Amino acid sequence: MNKTDKKIILVVDDDADVRDSIFLYLNEIEDYSVFTYDGASEVMDKIQKGNIDVVLTDIVMPEISGIELLEKIHQFNSQIPVILMTGFADLDIAIAAIKKGF
């Protein structure tokens, strides 16, 4: 499999340690190319330019929330899977995401 055949995963988290940990773990899988971002604006540029297979995003971020990012991604392409993750156990956030149909 050459580099262009790899699935593309975007990881978005404002915490560098979390980004680096996820990158190190996923980058070991030969079938994936992993790109990390600390904010949403760069991610949307990447999504609009290429074939993204999945996005992993933190929910609680300073620029925009992961839920808002998910909405922006799905406005552009509703077929891109987005996995929401958080270090904060907040039932209200989970309920908000479910009510939005995600």
Please tell me the pTM assigned to this model: 0.83
**In sequence order, which ranges of 1-102 are alpha helices (DSSP H)?**
16-27, 40-49, 66-76, 91-99
Rounded CA separation 23/36 (Å): 7
- What is the rounded end-to-end Cα distance, in angstroms, of the chain? 33
Q: With H, G, I as helix, E, B as strand and everything else as coil, classify residue 49.
A: helix
**pLDDT above 80: residue 1:** no
For 34, list phi and psi in degrees, rounded to 5.
-115, 130
**pLDDT above 60: residue 3:** no
Quote the tokens at residue 83. Answer: 């996995």
- What's the pLDDT score for residue 15? 93
The model's pLDDT over 40-99, given as tens digits with 9 standing for 90+, comes to 878 988 898 878 999 999 988 888 888 899 999 999 999 999 998 887 666 676 666 666
